[in-house]
Structures are given as C-alpha cells and as structure tokens.
C-alpha cells in the first residue's frame, strides 16, 4: 500500500498532510474523482475562481496527476 496525498487548489492551496493509503494509482485516481465531486457538491462556491483542481502525489510527494474542474464562460 502507498500513501497518496490530495492537495486542493482554487486560488488558494490546501495541502493534504494526512493522505490515504491505497493499493495503487488506479485507486488514487478514483479517490481523487470522488474527492473533487464531494468538494463541488458541498462547496460549489469554490469554483468562483473558475477552476478547482486536485493534485495527487505519492508518499515521496512526487506529483502523479491532476484532476480539474473548470468553468468556461462563453
């Protein structure tokens, strides 16, 4: 098991200092999607900066991937 960290950015940066132990990157991807969905569900105002992202890193704090939610004004 590897510990993955899910940092949240929406104009400000919230560092995840706890992390979650997961079996692999696939599980971390699913967790990041769920986490971003929960943030949007409970705090939709966080998209006021037009972008909300979750940066996922491993236990060495190497960034593995980013998941974003963005509003595009047309």
- The pLDDT tens digits for 32-70 are 999 999 999 999 888 877 789 999 999 999 999 999 998
The per-residue b/e assignment along 16-50, b for 16 or more CB within 10 angstroms, e otherwise, is beebbebeeeeebbebbeebbeebeeeeeebeeee
Residues in contact with 55: Cβ distance below 8 Å, sequence separation at least 6, in sequence order: 6, 7, 9, 63, 65, 66
Joined tokens for residue 70: 């963005």
Higher pLDDT, 51 or 16: 16
């Amino acid at each position: 098991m590897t510990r993955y960290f899910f940092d949240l950015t929406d104009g400000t940066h919230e560092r995840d200092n706890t992390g979650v132990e997961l079996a692999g990157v696939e599980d971390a991807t699913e967790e990041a999607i769920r986490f971003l969905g929960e943030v949007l569900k409970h705090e939709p105002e966080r998209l006021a900066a037009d972008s909300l992202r979750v940066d996922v890193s491993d236990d060495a704090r190497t960034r593995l991937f980013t998941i974003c939610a963005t509003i595009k004004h047309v």
